[in-house]
Amino acid sequence: MKWADEYRRLGVRTNADTPKDAQVAREFGAEGIGLCRTEHMFFEADRILAVREMILANDEKGRRRALDKIKPMQKGDFKEIFRVMNGLPVTIRLLDPPLHEFLPHTEAELADVAKALKTPVAEVRAKRNALHEANPMLGHRGCRLGITFPEIYEMQVRAIVEAACEVKKEKVDVEPEIMIPLVGHVNELAALRRMTVEVADEIIKASGVKLSYMVGTMIELPRAAVTADKIAEQAEFFSFGTNDLTQTTFGLSRDDAGKFLPDYVEKKILPKDPFMALDTEGVGELVRIGIEKGRKTRKKLKVGICGEHGGEPSSIEFCHQAGMNYVSCSPFRVPIARLAAAHAALKDEKKKK
């Protein structure tokens, strides 16, 4: 692995949502976190009730009341992760999945939420049913949540920045990278960036510590890739979310494709499952366009990938050729990524000779 590290030019980060995963990934040689999915912190047994209260509240006041319960828990998680990563970069993504994923399913769960909200069960049930979406993957998720319920993202930014300031006081170095998901139009990012900077700067000023942070976005919709020059005006970094980018480029549901994609591969309609190995010709073309246009606006734009492809060797070779700065993958794939990145660099050398 030492040899591999001598040759590779791509950085290798990890996708980690918990301090434990972060620790494992560090031991495998990860050089930072490329994706911390904050929603996983919402699902834990002692938190889900407050999350459900937040989603099913009738107004902003009710949502804020529930968010006040969630914030200390998120902040605690971030502090732990920052301590483990100790100076390495940490990209934290604001809430992404459709809210209905958190909804109560059983009657007992409904009753718990109704009690917490002091609302009749029938009313909570009606609200839950109203949140049902026909196409949740294309629905009310990602930054759209931050646009309609800014208080959710505001709470998350507070939790991240307060955590960072507090660990900095413990002499742990930290530079959080706050990432906005599923952006399709620059105006979405402009509005959310403005909120993020306002909230973050106020906390930093009040804390008296010196903290720098970045605000960036995921590029995971074709529209974001082809308008990347505009999006880069508002983003200090890009991270390609190639899971969603594959889904939206092919128009192929990630959750359902498993039923028929194996036939496509067997019948040689597609050479490989595009959710496993990046489709360099189609999805990859959007990635190339995104990088080129993004760097036209911002020459030093930091670019990475955090979809599953970030741990797959042929996709890593593509990322190297496309000029990315790093790949990010699950902790156990970090050594594979380090090796694949070195192979890609060596192939370059061979070509030159």
In the complex, minimum distance from the CB of residue 188 to ligand PEP, in angstroms, rounded to a whole number: 16
Binders of ligand PEP among 77-96, rule CB under 6 A? 96
β-sheet bridge partners, residue 239:
218, 304
Stretch that binds ligand PEP, among 60-68, 103-111, 152-160, 241-249 (CB under 6 A): 241-249
- Contact between 283 and ligand PEP (CB under 6 A)? no
Pick from 31, 112, 244, 317 the residue near ligand PEP by CB under 6 A: 244
Give CA–CA dist 301/295, Å, rounded. 6
Give CA–CA dist 30/328, Å, rounded. 9
Stretch that binds ligand PEP, among 110-118, 166-174, 237-245, 262-270 (CB under 6 A): 237-245
Q: Which of Mg ion, ligand PEP, none does residue 307 bind to, with CB < 5 to 8 Å depending on kind?
A: ligand PEP
Helix, strand or coil for residue 176?
strand
- Contact between 17 and ligand PEP (CB under 6 A)? no
β-sheet bridge partners, residue 216:
179
Residue among 116 and 138 whose Cβ is closer to ligand PEP: 138
In the complex, minimum distance from the CB of residue 137 to Mg ion, in angstroms, rounded to a whole number: 9
Contacts of 25 (CB under 8 A, 6+ apart): 14, 16, 33, 331, 334
Residue among 243 and 321 whose Cβ is closer to Mg ion: 243
Give CB contacts under 8 A, 24+ apart, made by 13-18: 13/89, 13/91, 13/304, 13/326, 13/327, 13/328, 13/329, 14/328, 14/329, 14/330, 14/331, 14/334, 15/306, 15/310, 15/328, 15/329, 15/330, 15/331, 16/81, 16/331, 17/41, 18/77, 18/81
Nearest partner of 275 among 244, 237, 302, judged by Cα: 244
Q: x/- contact string, 94-113, with ligand PEP (CB under 6 A)?
A: --x-----------------
Pick from 91, 196, 227, 242 the residue near ligand PEP by CB under 6 A: 242
- Contact between 241 and Mg ion (CB under 5 A)? yes
Residue among 57 and 179 whose Cβ is closer to Mg ion: 179
- Cα separation of the two ends of the chain: 24
In the complex, minimum distance from the CB of residue 115 to ligand PEP, in angstroms, rounded to a whole number: 32
Binding site for ligand PEP (CB under 6 A): 35, 37, 96, 220, 241-244, 306-307
Binding site for Mg ion (CB under 5 A): 220, 241, 244
